[in-house]
Structure 1
Amino acid sequence: MGAYGSNLDDILAEDMHHWYNKFMRESPSGLITLFELKAMLGLTGMTEEASSYVDQVFYTFDMDGDGYIDFVEYIAAVSLLLKGEINQKLKWYFKLFDQDGNGKIDKDEMETIFKAIQDITRSYDVPPQDIVNLIYERVDVNGEGELTLEEFISGAKEHPDIMEMLTKMMDLTNVLVIIVQGRRKSV
């Protein structure tokens, strides 16, 4: 959690009334569009991959597929990110990686998400291709070049270093802090 720990403690202590008021201040219509989410987080001038990642995050939280995040979806997303069990988080990661929705993650899908994360975080410590190759070497036991949900979850749990890497890279704590604090970046 790093520098966001104390902020997260504050977030966890908030009550539902506060969350609802904050949501309605940010989006008086009661719905958040993809455009509004990007504006709220100050995400402008992103690479195509980074923009695609934000789109994918939005669509995984838009559970009913109506093109909006409503208050229930918003609270579900916040709850998952803050208090979700490891299996829930891994299922969400899988859904995020599975861009075409075919129930399998291929190397290109995973690499695209990791590139996007690096573009957003501006952290380029390890090339995305190296991360993907490591994950597939250790987790793709059948050598098919695709991971099913079961392979992904069991592989992540069997390899603590992969689990730690996924958790660190997929951490959206900074996004929640921006939402909670109402901070908008102007770029």
Structure 2
Amino acid sequence: MGSAASAADDINALEIHHWYRKFMKECPSGQLSLHEFKGLLGLHGMNPEATKYIEQVFSTFDMNKDGFIDFLEFIAAINLVLRGKIDQKLKWYFKLYDADGNGSIDRKELLSIITAVQAINGHQGMSPEEFTTLLFTKIDVNGDGELTLEEFIGGIEKDPDLLELISKSFDLSNVLKTIQNGRRRSMP
């Protein structure tokens, strides 16, 4: 919980008040469920890959793993997306990719999450298979087919092209714009 509070310190009081009003308007209970999260972003009825990605994003923002995103977790997420340093964002990406939570990313996990991201954001110019192969070729230094946090961060920080590719793929500013502007209208 301390990390959420320290992340909130980076956002000024006026911004916190603004986000609090938005959060409470969309979520009067003060706790955002996965179902509400999907509704807020207009993401119900997505294909299984996209749904899995949204669930993984929700899970990484639900820091205390209680099944809800409370306001402090919400502010920590906003701070990461808007002001997070590159190493903070890379740690978050790693956590997002590490779907089974075992501390490493294997090819299957990476392929799955990239497939899901493309299902939501559209094709990024490279197939999920090509992206996965590229990433492992460039940064799996010991060739064991798994990426540790150190390999992941070190490899991406040393490769500006990979850093740009990953940053574009996981840009969540559109999520914040949706929240800031209110709920998306459901398509008929």
> How far 1:121 moved relative to its partner?
1.3
Q: Distance in 2 between matches of 1:118 and 1:168?
A: 11
Counterpart for residue 84 of structure 1: 84
Q: Distance in 2 between matches of 1:153 and 1:124?
A: 21
Counterpart for residue 101 of structure 1: 101
Q: Distance in 2 between matches of 1:146 and 1:22?
A: 40
Aligned sequence identity (%): 54
Alignment length, in residue pairs? 177
Q: Distance in 2 between matches of 1:107 and 1:14?
A: 43
- State TM-score, norm by structure 1: 0.91
Q: Distance in 1 between matches of 2:138 and 2:13?
A: 39
Q: Distance in 1 between matches of 2:159 and 2:185?
A: 37
Distance 1:12 1:125, change over 3 A: farther
Aligned 8 A contact 2:124 2:169 in 1: no
Q: Distance in 2 between matches of 1:78 and 1:84?
A: 9
- Structure 2: runs of 5 or more not aligned: 1-10
Q: Name the aligned partner's letter for residue 99 of structure 1.
A: A
Q: Distance in 2 between matches of 1:46 and 1:125?
A: 21
Q: Distance in 2 between matches of 1:43 and 1:137?
A: 33
> How far 1:136 moved relative to its partner?
0.4
SS of equivalent residue, structure 1 residue 73? helix
Counterpart for residue 5 of structure 2: none
Bigger mean CA deviation after superposition, 30-39 or 11-20: 11-20
Q: Name the aligned partner's letter for residue 64 of structure 2.
A: D
Q: Distance in 2 between matches of 1:123 and 1:14?
A: 37
SS of equivalent residue, structure 2 residue 116? helix
User: How much is the aligned-residue C-alpha RMSD, in angstroms?
Assistant: 1.5
Correspondence 1:122-133 to 2 at 5 A: 122-123=122-123, 125-133=125-133
Q: Distance in 1 between matches of 2:119 and 2:12?
A: 29
> How far 1:125 moved relative to its partner?
2.4
SS of equivalent residue, structure 2 residue 155? helix
Counterpart for residue 115 of structure 2: 115
Counterpart for residue 157 of structure 2: 157
- State TM-score, norm by structure 2: 0.91
